[in-house]
Amino acid sequence: MLTTPDDPTTTRPGRPPVVDLATWQAARDQLLVREKAHTREGDALAAARRRLPMVEVDGAVEVVGADGPVPFLDLFEGRTELMTYQHMWHDRAPHQGQCEGCTWAAWGLKDAVYLNARGVSFAILTTGRWDEVEPYVQFMGYAQPWYSVRDVEAPIGGAMGHLTCFLRDGDRVYLTYSSTGRGNEVANPFFALLDRTPYGRGEAWEDNPEGWPEGRHPCWYWRSDSDGNAEWGGTSRPVPQWTRPGATPVETLGRHGPRH
């Protein structure tokens, strides 16, 4: 059914005005100018990242993976570049108690084939003990290589929750870049996709039209209960876990401390 521009019966409270296609296209073209400027600024930032100084790190330090302890240098798999995601870990917590934000990032990085095609290896690092990490990786169905960096100093170990890049020159390894905060959003396309929808992410910090659905705290939908309701209580799991074989309703997160 077609609607009539400026007809008050077709413009509901809290919604943008209904207009004809030509008017919409003109507004869209105006926004496109800003989008292109944003893209060009992103390209300029990427160029600046490529010019950051480097820090040499110990490529011989051992990390623990599916094949036992290996030198960090092995994570390059013979390639020149390596990107890692540093996954937070809650000791002794069941699968549903692990970090929802890191689950979101790791789920978006399940396949590194395009990184590999460009000569970049990828691995996930975590401070969890390998005997806890291994069954979690199997439960989630992750194909990426995971490694425990427990007791390894930064920047290979240390603080988690970052995307980090390394460059190899023979047997020497250099730290080149590490993300902070919302810099991790590139790991998963769904935030960028939600930013293009009418209601966006549904978070309280967003600048929305008056009357738009009320936002909630950031990341509120990273967990859900067995019925798909977004919530953070003890009966919830990180959203992708409900797709895993054997994922049943739970009664507790089995962890203590603040949520991420």
Q: Is residue 254 part of a domain?
A: no
Residue 250 maps to a domain: no
Report helix, strand or coil for 223.
Answer: strand
| 24 part of a folded domain | no
Could you tell me if residue 44 is inside a domain? no
Query: Under a CB-based contact definition with an 8 Å cutoff, are residues 122 and 131 in contact?
Result: no
- What is the count of structural domains for the chain? 1
**Residue 258 — very low, low, confident or very high, per pLDDT cuts 50/70/90?**
very low
Q: Is the pLDDT score of 230 beyond 70? A: yes
**Mean per-residue pLDDT, 12-19:** 77
Average pLDDT, the chain: 91
CATH of the domain at 148: 3.40.30.10
Listed residue (163, 167, 176, 168) closest to 52, CA to CA: 176
Asked if residue 155 has a cis previous peptide bond (ω within 30° of 0), the answer is yes
Instruction: Tell me, yes or no, if the pTM score tops 0.85.
Output: yes
> Is the pLDDT score of 186 beyond 60?
yes
The pLDDT tens digits of the residues spanning 64-82 come to 999 999 999 999 999 999 9
What pLDDT was estimated at residue 254?
84
Q: Report the run of H or E that residue 140 belongs to, with start and end.
A: helix 130-140
In-domain check, residue 218? no
Containing structural domain, residue 144: 55-179
- 60 lies in some domain: yes
Task: Report yes or no on 119 lying in a domain.
Answer: yes
pLDDT class of 1 with cuts at 50, 70, 90: very low
